[in-house]
């Protein structure tokens, strides 16, 4: 393992994040605070509770997951796309650095940024609503697995995209709607039976449900199923990244 190479890539990505702290951290935190004001205060005042949890507290895991998914994807996709755009990716590929070490550097940095941001939002949420975390170890586990999975997913998008516009397509037009429709702001049990069945085809449902269970011991689907689906997404992303490096897809052209 070339630790120096991994830490160089990791450190470079983290330095770029620190240089753009306004849009990387402050902007998502302010946006999440607005969600609390709109959903927690305006709508939450008309909803007593959901399964014994106040509405303001109920949406906290969903808001964290919404930010985690989008930020992990966008950070990782831009991190690997920019070297391709300026041509420095060939210097990395010609260096004595393995594909695993390249992925570890970029994905590790993107996941770190997302986890830190998620924890900041969690602390911010505590200023608005009373929080309790029933299973803190599992909360961190779901947080880390989701950040790693969608950082890998973003890495895939960054290799696939051939323009800055394509970097935005999947996060904005697919990922964000799936998160909103994945039970982030409601329990899928309130939906009609037919829509409940359709919603189960949304992969984000399992991520949000498992994460919410770690807070309040309530879940829309079995915790075991949520964990299995999260691990499945992680393994699938790893397999795709391995195939991309093995075939040189969008790397050697």
CA distance 141 to 97: 29
Residue ranges per structural domain of the chain: 3-247
Identify the bridge partners of residue 53 per DSSP, sorted by sequence position: 50
Is the per-residue pLDDT at 82 higher than 80? yes
Q: Average pLDDT for residues 137-147, to the nearest whole number?
A: 93
Q: Average the pLDDT over each of 49-58, 99-108, 137-146 and give the range with the smallest value.
A: 49-58
- Looking at residue 47, its pLDDT comes to 67
CA distance 205 to 37: 24
Is the per-residue pLDDT at 252 higher than 80? no
Is the per-residue pLDDT at 1 higher than 80? no
The percentage of the chain sitting over the pLDDT mark of 70, rounded to a whole number, equals 94
Q: Please, which contacts does 41-50 make with residues 24 or more away whose CB atoms are closer than 8 Å?
A: 50/186, 50/187
Q: Average pLDDT for residues 11-25, to the nearest whole number?
A: 80
Q: Is the pTM of this model over 0.85?
A: yes
- Asked if residues 120 and 66 have their Cβ atoms less than 8 Å apart, the reply is no
Say which DSSP state 243 is in. H
Cβ–Cβ contacts within 10 Å for residue 79, how many? 24
Burial of residue 30, with CB atoms counted within 10 A of its CB: 0-12 exposed, 13-18 middle, 19 or more buried: exposed
Burial of residue 174, with CB atoms counted within 10 A of its CB: 0-12 exposed, 13-18 middle, 19 or more buried: exposed
If pLDDT is split at 50, 70 and 90, which confidence band does 44 have?
A: low
Is the per-residue pLDDT at 18 higher than 90? no
Q: Average the pLDDT over each of 41-45, 147-151, 184-188 and give the range with the smallest value.
A: 41-45
Is the per-residue pLDDT at 239 higher than 70? yes
If pLDDT is split at 50, 70 and 90, which confidence band does 223 have?
A: very high
For residue 29, the number of C-alpha atoms closer than 13 Å in the C-beta half-sphere is 20
The percentage of the chain sitting over the pLDDT mark of 90, rounded to a whole number, equals 27
Averaged confidence pLDDT in the chain:
85
């Amino acid at each position: 393992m070339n630790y120096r190479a991994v830490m160089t890539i990791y450190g470079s990505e983290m330095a770029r994040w620190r240089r753009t702290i306004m849009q990387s951290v402050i902007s998502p935190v302010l946006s999440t605070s607005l969600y609390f004001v709109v959903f927690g205060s305006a709508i939450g005042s008309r909803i007593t509770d959901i399964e014994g949890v106040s509405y303001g507290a109920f949406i906290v895991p969903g808001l964290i997951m919404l930010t985690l998914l989008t930020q992990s994807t966008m950070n990782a996709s831009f991190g690997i796309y920019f070297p391709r755009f300026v041509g420095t990716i060939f210097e990395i590929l010609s260096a004595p650095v393995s594909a695993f070490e390249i992925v570890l550097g970029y994905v590790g940095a993107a996941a770190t940024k997302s986890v830190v941001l998620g924890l900041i939002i969690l602390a911010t949420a505590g200023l608005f609503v009373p929080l309790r975390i029933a299973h803190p170890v599992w909360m961190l586990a779901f947080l880390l697995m989701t950040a790693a999975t969608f950082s890998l997913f973003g890495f895939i998008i960054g290799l696939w995209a051939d323009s800055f516009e394509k970097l935005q397509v999947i996060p904005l037009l697919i990922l964000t709607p799936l998160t909103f429709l994945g039970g982030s702001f409601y329990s899928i049990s309130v939906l009609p039976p037919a829509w409940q069945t359709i919603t189960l085809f949304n992969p984000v449902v399992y991520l949000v449900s498992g994460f919410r269970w770690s807070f309040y011991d309530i879940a829309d689907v079995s915790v075991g199923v949520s964990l299995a689906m999260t691990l499945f997404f992680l393994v699938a992303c790893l397999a795709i990244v391995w195939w991309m490096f093995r075939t040189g897809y969008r790397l050697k052209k």
